[in-house]
């Protein structure tokens, strides 16, 4: 394999040559404190990897099919500046949140070359065992810089690294862990990403909390094909943020090695000093199309492309180091070394086996037989917290909100790595007062308010979790979770798509459902089936205070992320009241509760509907067996099947929409696995496919009520 070639330059005139010599004589010496040979090596490696992939893709017809990178993104032009940045990430607990053009940074942090090529080829092992796009990288490191799992969406890298930066301050100041002193979190993004919610949310977090976070913006003036001034007014985010409070801002040329190193060293030093965040914008050329299938000539002129080629940072780096630090022959030897190493890595990557299809379903959830992923409490920490499903005698009668508050209070006491946060959860104690008094007792570092950004709440929780904490985040109402959809998806899929390298266990408390005598389309949404579809999430929906205690405690000690649904009607009334089952009470997830035994019909429900169904079941004596699922991911399929095989009839009642609600999953399962036991068709009773209305008269017309449920039961019993 040939060494990476430099772009051809026109022969200079005598005057131009003389001017070039004068400029060279006046150029600064290579900046001290940097291992410039190592920087040059990784920059050339990155360039060589890109050339291998691009050349292979251009010549698909002439290479074996399994040698083609199916989804290729080049970092050419971005490479040198990233490698310089990586050389500055030396803290024991430093971390970076990056994106699909960030492979040069990973190379500088220790990414093996065969992994750098093997993952894009979809081979076994590597970042994801063939499960994710090859340049969507990650780099776990127990005792050095970490690269958080990248994502395929734009801008989602920012809020998790803000969470990591906040975790640095928590480990350092609250847990007194000296290994976090002077450490930083770095978010890498392109100029297009500064238009996203994630960027602005993380910027708010970093500046209001003065987090040790560096925003590294590499500006190539293109968001795929969209010009930079369509992403940012004036096309310069650094200029626009010059007056932003608590933000140290620098702007420069990412193709100039001296200026790049100077600015990055200045910004990293500022962040390490503990005074607050910094942002650096470096202009860089994009010396390629956006991705393999893209053809930039459709939206760029030849002159624009040529102008970028003339700004290639690799020749600039060579001119900066030769002859000041390396001789021409030493540079040539370095190029030959890179060529040999990349060729050997390519052979090794191509020789790797393909991933095994039989393993594709592994690691959606934590596997007790597998090693701990990077993130969350360790297995030993979880086991030390203990727990039992035995109920303590003599517990105080509590409403749902009080039971949740008491459980949070106890877990904050016994688990110093647990933090509780969300909009208004601190001084106010939450809009439903569930966290009332907790900040006063445990301090604002452990129970704290957030800015109004659900993207920020969940992204922050992800970073906190990866950093080894147990975040309990509140989304104020179910409907408000929608802006956090990307972060929720990225959290749930993290363990699977990194092949158990990373995980972000957390609890997301989410009130929703109809209120006491009131509803509306915004605060009264249930829509739990959406999270049943969410890969990797556990979904809990308690109907009473005792179950809420056991399920919440189980969620806070789980290696998997959990949606903990708090029904508004139960928070606002005493309907879910029960005796406190004790400070050690833990309920296994996925175990339904038989509320009432019966012989002729199985009534399946969950959440607030349990109380309406219980009222109906009592009317029919021992005819109706009432099951409260308690969790819908996982759901207790065995309990439902056992009951229906006994009764021969089933009615499913839920608050979510009828069409494709979770009742449809239960009905389909019964049709497939208990068909010959059925004496009547499985029926579902749920709201029509319309939003929750405001006026009580309309609300009663939409929700399944006791009368409707009773009529459905009576009808089924007559079949």
Enumerate the active-site residues. 523
* Structural contact between residues 146 and 375, judged by C-beta atoms closer than 8 angstroms: no
* Structural contact between residues 403 and 545, judged by C-beta atoms closer than 8 angstroms: yes
What phi and psi, each to the nearest 5 degrees, are found at residue 562?
Answer: -135, 130
E strands along 354-417, which residues? 397-398
Name the 3-class secondary structure at 627.
strand
Which residues are bridge partners to 251 per DSSP? Answer: 281
Q: Count of H helices and E strands in the chain?
A: 26, 22
Q: From residue 190, how far is each of 78, 87, 449, 529, 609 by CA, in Å? A: 10, 20, 30, 35, 48
DSSP conformational letter for 65: G
Contacts of 432 (CB under 8 A, 6+ apart): 401, 511, 566, 568, 571, 572
* Structural contact between residues 28 and 258, judged by C-beta atoms closer than 8 angstroms: yes
Pairing of strands 507-512, 562-567: parallel
Name the 3-class secondary structure at 605.
strand
Name the 3-class secondary structure at 437.
coil
Torsion from C-alpha of 204, 208, 212, 217, nearest 10 degrees = 30
Name the 3-class secondary structure at 687.
coil
Q: By C-alpha distance, which of 428, 430, 476, 450 is closest to 205?
A: 450
E strands along 346-478, which residues? 397-398, 418-422, 447-449, 470-474
Length of the chain: 719
Distance in angstroms (rounded) separating the CA atoms of residues 461 and 179: 21
Which strand ranges, in their side-by-side order, compose the sheet holding 146-147? 146-147, 95-97, 185-190, 213-219, 278-283, 248-253
For residue 529, what are its two tokens? 């089936």
* Structural contact between residues 220 and 287, judged by C-beta atoms closer than 8 angstroms: no
* Structural contact between residues 163 and 460, judged by C-beta atoms closer than 8 angstroms: yes
Distance in angstroms (rounded) separating the CA atoms of residues 318 and 312: 11
Helices 454-466 and 158-169 cross at an angle (nearest 10°) of 60
Classify residue 336 by burial, with Cβ atoms within 10 Å: 0-12, 13-18, 19+: exposed
Distance in angstroms (rounded) separating the CA atoms of residues 588 and 633: 12
């Amino acid at each position: 394999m040939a060494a990476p070639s430099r772009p051809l330059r026109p022969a200079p005139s005598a005057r131009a040559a003389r001017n070039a010599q004068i400029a060279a004589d006046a150029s600064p010496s290579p900046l001290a404190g940097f291992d410039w040979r190592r920087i040059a090596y990784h920059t050339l490696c990155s360039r060589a990897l890109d050339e291998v992939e691009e050349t292979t893709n251009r010549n698909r017809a002439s290479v074996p099919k399994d040698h083609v990178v199916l989804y290729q993104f080049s970092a050419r032009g971005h490479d040198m500046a990233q490698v310089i940045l990586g050389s500055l990430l030396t803290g024991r607990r430093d971390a970076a949140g990056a994106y699909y053009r960030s492979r040069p940074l990973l190379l500088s942090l220790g990414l093996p070359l065969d992994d750098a090529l093997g993952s894009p080829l979809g081979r076994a092992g590597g970042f994801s065992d063939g499960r994710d796009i090859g340049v969507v990288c990650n780099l776990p490191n127990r005792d050095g810089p970490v690269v958080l799992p990248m994502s395929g969406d734009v801008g989602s890298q920012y809020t998790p690294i803000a969470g990591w930066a906040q975790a640095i301050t928590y480990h350092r100041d609250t847990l007194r862990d000296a290994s976090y002193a002077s450490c930083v979190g770095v978010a890498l993004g392109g100029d297009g990403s500064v238009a996203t919610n994630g960027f602005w949310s993380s910027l708010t977090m970093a500046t209001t909390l003065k987090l040790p976070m560096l925003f590294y913006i590499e500006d190539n003036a293109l968001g795929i094909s969209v010009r930079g001034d369509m992403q940012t007014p004036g096309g310069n985010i650094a200029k626009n943020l010059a007056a932003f409070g608590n933000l140290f801002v620098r702007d420069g040329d990412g193709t100039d090695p001296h200026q790049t190193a100077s600015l990055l060293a200045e910004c990293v030093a500022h962040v390490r000093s503990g005074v607050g965040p910094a942002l650096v914008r470096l202009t860089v050329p994009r010396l390629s199309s956006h991705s393999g299938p893209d053809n930039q000539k459709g939206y760029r002129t030849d002159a624009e492309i040529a102008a970028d080629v003339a700004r290639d940072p690799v020749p600039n780096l060579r001119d900066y180091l030769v002859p000041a630090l390396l001789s021409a022959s030493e540079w040539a030897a370095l190029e030959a070394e890179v060529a040999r190493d990349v060729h050997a890595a390519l052979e090794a990557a191509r020789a790797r086996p393909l991933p095994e299809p039989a393993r594709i379903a592994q690691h959606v959830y934590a596997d007790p037989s597998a090693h701990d992923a990077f993130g969350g409490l360790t297995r030993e920490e979880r086991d030390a917290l203990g727990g039992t499903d035995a109920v303590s005698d003599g517990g105080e009668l509590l409403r749902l909100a009080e039971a949740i508050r008491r459980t949070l209070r106890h877990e904050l006491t016994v688990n110093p790595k647990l933090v509780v946060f969300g909009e208004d959860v601190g001084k106010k104690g939450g809009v439903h007062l569930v966290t009332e008094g907790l900040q006063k007792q445990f301090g604002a570092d452990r129970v704290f308010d957030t800015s109004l950004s659900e993207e920020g709440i969940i992204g922050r929780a992800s970073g906190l979790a990866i950093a080894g904490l147990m975040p309990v985040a509140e989304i104020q109402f179910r409907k408000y979770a929608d802006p956090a959809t990307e972060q929720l998806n990225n959290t749930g899929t993290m363990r699977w798509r990194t092949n158990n390298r990373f995980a972000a266990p957390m609890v997301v408390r989410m009130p929703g459902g109809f209120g006491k005598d009131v509803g509306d389309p915004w605060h009264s949404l249930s829509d739990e089936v959406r999270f049943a579809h969410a890969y990797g999430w556990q979904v809990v929906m308690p109907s009473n205070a005792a179950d809420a205690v056991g399920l919440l405690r189980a969620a806070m000690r789980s290696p998997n992320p959990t949606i903990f649904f708090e029904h508004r009607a139960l928070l606002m009334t005493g309907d879910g009241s029960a005796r406190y089952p004790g400070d050690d009470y833990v309920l296994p997830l996925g175990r339904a509760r038989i509320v009432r035994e019966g012989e002729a019909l199985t009534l399946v429900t969950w959440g607030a509907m349990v109380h309406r169904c219980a009222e109906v079941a009592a009317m029919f004596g021992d005819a109706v067996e009432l099951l409260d699922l308690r969790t819908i991911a996982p759901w207790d399929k065995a309990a439902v099947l056992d009951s229906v095989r006994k009764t021969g009839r089933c009615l499913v009642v839920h608050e979510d929409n009828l069409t494709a609600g979770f009742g449809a999953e239960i009905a389909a399962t019964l049709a497939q696995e208990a068909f010959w036991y059925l004496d009547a068709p499985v029926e579902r009773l749920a709201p029509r496919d319309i939003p929750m209305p405001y006026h009580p008269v309309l609300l009663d017309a939409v929700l399944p009520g006791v009368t409707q449920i009773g009529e459905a039961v009576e009808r089924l019993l007559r079949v």
